Structure formats: C-alpha cells, structure tokens
Amino acid sequence: MPVFPLGAHVDDDGARFAVASTSADAVELCLVDGPDGDLSERRVALTERTFGVWHGYVDGVAPGQRYGYRVHGPYRPRDGVRANPAKILVDPYARRVLGRVTDLEAARGWTDDPMTGPPCPRDSLGHVPLSVVTGPDPAGPGPRPDVPWSETVVAEVHVRGYTMRHPEVPPEHRGTYLGLAHPAVVAHLCRLGVTAVELLPVAAIADEPPLLERGRTNFWGYATLGFLAPHPGYASVPGAEIEEFRTMVAALHAAGIEVILDFVPNHTAEGGVGGTTLSYRGLDAPAYYALGGDGHDADITGTGNTLDAGSPTVIRLVCDAMRHWVTVMGVDGFRIDLASVLGRPRSGAFDPHAPLLTAIAVDPVLSRVKLIAEPWDATGEGYRVGGFGVAWSEWNGRYRDAVRDFWRGHGSIGEVASRLTGSSDLYRLSGRRPWASINFVTAHDGFTLRDMLSYEHKHNEANGEDNRDGTDDNRSQNFGEEGETASPVRAARRLATARAVLGTLLLSTGTPMLLGGDELWRTQGGNNNAYCLDDETSWVDWTHRDGALAAFTARVAAIRRSSPALHRDRFYRDGDVLWWHPAGRRLDGADWHDGHLRTLGLQRGEWLMLLHAGSDAVAATLPPDGPYTPELDSTRVDGEPVSRRPLPGGTTITLPPRSLLLLRIP
C-alpha cells in the first residue's frame, strides 16, 4: 500500500489515510459521526508504518466523513514527547477542518502543570476541531494573470474585514470569499490599479489559549491549525469553503488580479507547552517543533512555539501545503510570515540557504510563483532585511521607516533617497532586481495611514491587555491633537500629507504595497495591533468608496502604470538618477549630511519629483533644463495641478508644507 501522499484520499470504495509520527507506538484513526453534543467514533488501528508514516485503507469512507487521530506512546514532557490518546488530533494534511475549541481544559494535554503533571485524561472529542474527508482534488485553475513583478501593485486585505461593511455586497456574502469576489469590490481594486491582493492568513485558524481565556478570537488569523485547509469561517455556506475560495480566485484572475497568501509556516495555534494539544504536539512534538533542552518549546516567533525549519517532517508539510494552494486552489504567490524563522533550523543562527528556504526556492512549482519574505522574527538575530536569497522579494521595513521619518521631518535625506530608488544597497549585490523591495508605509500590523497622521501613541485598550501590546515605535505624527479633530485646518493638513505619502509610495522604484482601506481614509481609533478585534475597529468603512482620496490614489497608480521609468525593472546606473537641491543645483556631499534639509528633487527619465517635508512653505528653483510640465500636485484634493503650463528651467516655485509635485520633462 502506498505511503504518500499524506492525508485522506478517497476512491470509489473507501479512503486511504496516512499521517506522520516518528515517536508514536500506535496510531488510531477515529471516524466521527453523530450530531454535535452526541458524537460517536469508530476507531481503526493504522497498522502499517513506513518511513515514519502510519497508514491504512478503510472501506466505505466517503467525502464529508469527520475524523481525527489518537496517538499512543511515551509521555515525557522534559523530552518533549507528549502522546496522549485522550486527545483527538486534527490531520496536518486535512483539506477541510471543522469546528473550534469550546473547552480549553479539555483541549489541553496536561494536568496541573505542563512539565511535571500527568497527562490529562479528559476526552477532547466534541470540544476541539476535527478533520473532514474531501473528494478528489478539483481540476487545477485556468489561465493566470502572470503579472510581471515590475508591473505589480499589491493591496494587503483581510477577507472578512475588507468586505464586512460594503453596502453593495449582499449581506450573506459580507466577510466571505464571495464578498471579496463581488464585482463592486473587484472593480474598486481595478480602479486603484491593484494587480495583486495579499490576503491575511486564510489557512484554517484556531484561537490560541490566551485568547480563549479572554473570550477573544484571532481576527488576523496568524494561528494556523490546518495548513492545507481554507478557513471555514470565510465561507458563506458552511462546508463550501474550498469551492468558494476557488470562485474568489477565478473572479480576481478574470480581472487581472493575482492572489497572494499570507502564509504562516513558522508556528501553529497550539501555543507553548502550556497550550493546547490539537494536532502537532500530540502527533510528534519533537518532529514539528523546535524544542529547548528541557522540553519547553523554543520561541523565536513570540507565539509560544516555533516550527522546526530543519525537520524533514516540517519541510515536507510546508512544501506540500504551498504546492496544494498553487496547483489546486489557484493562488499566485505567498508572503511568508516571520520568514526568518524558516532560515533558522532548530531556532539557531539565520542561514539564507537553510533547508526549508532552499526547498521552497528550488521547488519546480513554488519557484514559479511570487515569493515574499517578511524578513524578521521576534528576535534581533532574525532581522534580515536584504538578507534573503535571489528567489525572494522582501517586505522592506527600512523603506517604511525612512518614508515615515521623512514626512514627519526626521531622518536623513540619504536614507530616504536610497529607499525611493529601489534600495540597491539591500538587493543589488544578491543579484535581485528593484522589485524585490516590497515598499510599504502601512500594513495590518501598526497604524493605518489615517491613524499614522492622527496619533502619536497607540490606543490598544480594547484588546484587553492594558495597552501593553503593539509597538511603541510608530514614527507617527498628530499635527498637534491626538486623535480625531474638529479643526478643518488640521484635518486638511492630515489629508494633504496622506496624499504626499501615497504619492511617494506609488512613485518609488520597487513594488508598492497599499494597506487596503487606506484609500478610504480608514481609522482604527489609534489601535496599532487590532489582531483580536472582529468588529468595526477592524472592518473597512466603505462610506467614502467614491471619495477624493481613492480617486487620488487611482490617479497616481495610473501615472505609475503609464511610464516604464516609474516601474523600472533594473537598478539605476550612475547618471540615470539626478538629485536636486531646492536651490536648483545638484546635491553635493555636504547636502547629504545636512540634518535640516527637508526638500529633495529626484529626476528619473522624463520625470522630476519634488518632495518637501517641511512644516513651512519653501521656495524651490527648478533645475536648469526643462521645460517642466506639472502632472501631479499632492496639495490638490484630486491631484490635478492648478496649471499644466510648462515651466522653464530655473523657474522658482513655492512648495507648500508637506507636498509632492511631479513634473514631466519632454
């Protein structure tokens, strides 16, 4: 009987089951039936064991059958081995996962103390999620957009949060895969020039123990239980998550929009040793988790556990899961959460050529899709912006920090200049292109654009953690008043700065990533870590969907799209870029070290971009050549310059506070 593939696979007569566990003495397959509250199970011993995989065939099993595993074996917490047959376990390769944790104590594998107490004898059946047998994988996706990296514009969105309040989406589809596929939502993304949506995690989610104890949920979804299963909570019809996810992908593809998944192969929803036993910990903790010498989980993710990127079991699971999302579900790429963890086998030192990173990069399927690394983890060793291999693009945190600093009047001109032109200092030497820099100013983690310009301090009280969670390094400004304002002048200044920031992002060299909802002037009330708030705090308000800021964003994106010079595929050579002082001369060595210089001119191809981050207006003299035709003015609500009359070289103009002006050179 074949060992692979792992998981449950049906044919006309029944189903074959296979699950990996090198530490088990015996594994039972549990077929679960009956209504919630009165479940029954039939246990079938898997007697075949090959390559550390327990497997067997069961007649009469059909799609829709609920199941799990019970593992018999040693329970030695200080060795990291925690087999407990009282706990029914989700199949790591399940294509569908059903249910949630309803009783935390029943879901825990220990009694009294996770290191010294005995195993918990309470049966977890009926209190934890179950796996569900699915039919044969459907046919692969149709044609893909295959948007070149240099033409890619990403929008980071949350399936539920982005569509929950959209008035044109039918109520039954809001917050679902079908909601994101709705023509009104797709049309809005197209209008913005978005070519790829980067979805916050959609693999099956389970709330972690601290959230369960507080009665909260993991809204963002960085708590994976099933790596191959779409999250059932985003289906409009229970049990239809696979079909609805594929429908969403097809609708976005038809509009020329790619689908990138925020994928989380660095930890699981089980938490640390004091957490739950839902799957991996009970199956074979030493094969899945990086462990300390005393049996505790190593934690370089800040979540309580860390998947061991050096384990063959983990490498196989991650690559198999990613291939499934591409070949069956139709996705076009991945943003790997805390990707530095994948380069740290056994939570050791970072190696860009570590086994899991290499396995992904050379895989014949995965090497052909977009791969984005979040190049840090929860430790100093993990901060590796610019340190990944040639197959990877990266979230560029240095771009975020430099642009935020510039527009609040901090930081050096030299740092922001490097970020505006593709961050060649980070990516050229490794053989990558400018688009390897995923440029962003705001993301799900942190302030929204509106809050970045309205708050100087986080306001996370609603999370229930006494405002201790979330970063204190916000690099934000409030224009003299914390929070919302009734002052028309202050409100106008914030919006004008927002337009300058969006213009900077979309006109920089590299791959721009918008935070979905920023174009709608969305606020979270100053919460910079709304990970557990499934309410209006996190849901995008579409009241201003036809508003001026969305129109401005669309205008800038169209300008970017129209000119190869603004989405360049290669790094600039000497002489390709000219930097101008507001006095109308080239910047010299002393200028780059002038801590008071807040005005910068960037000339690329047929474009001159002037950026002024000062709080007062400044006179700026145009370079000697010309003429220069204004094309975009961030001080105008719609971006349309007051006049398109060409300006001769040497003309002195006034740049208002915190403004961006884009001019075309014939």
Question: Which of the residues are catalytic?
Answer: 337, 374
- The Cβ of residue 596 has, within 10 Å, a number of other Cβ atoms equal to 7
Q: Angle at which helices 397-407 and 488-507 pack, to 10 degrees?
A: 140
Q: Which of 98, 88, 101, 18 is nearest to 64 (CA)?
A: 98
- Each as own residue / partner, the long-range contacts of residues 596-603 (CB below 8 Å, 24 or more positions apart, any chain) are 597/413, 598/409, 599/655, 600/413, 600/416, 600/417, 602/417, 602/420, 602/421, 602/577, 602/578, 603/577, 603/578, 603/579, 603/665
- The Cβ of residue 238 has, within 10 Å, a number of other Cβ atoms equal to 9
Compute the distance between CA of residue 300 and CA of residue 378 in angstroms, rounded to an integer: 5
What is the phi-psi region of residue 583: left when phi exceeds 0, alpha when psi lies from -120 to 50, beta otherwise?
alpha
Compute the distance between CA of residue 666 and CA of residue 664 in angstroms, rounded to an integer: 6
Q: Which of 632, 341, 655, 359 is nearest to 502 (CA)?
A: 632
Compute the distance between CA of residue 515 and CA of residue 595 in angstroms, rounded to an integer: 30
Compute the distance between CA of residue 130 and CA of residue 65 in angstroms, rounded to an integer: 10
Q: How far is CA 159 from CA 174, 245, 511, 594, in A?
A: 9, 10, 22, 45
Tell whether the torsion through CA atoms of 461, 463, 467 and 470 is positive or negative.
Answer: negative
Q: In this structure, what token pair is assigned to residue 115?
A: 């290191």
Give φ, ψ of 359 to 5 degrees: -60, -40
Q: In this structure, what token pair is assigned to residue 456?
A: 């100087």
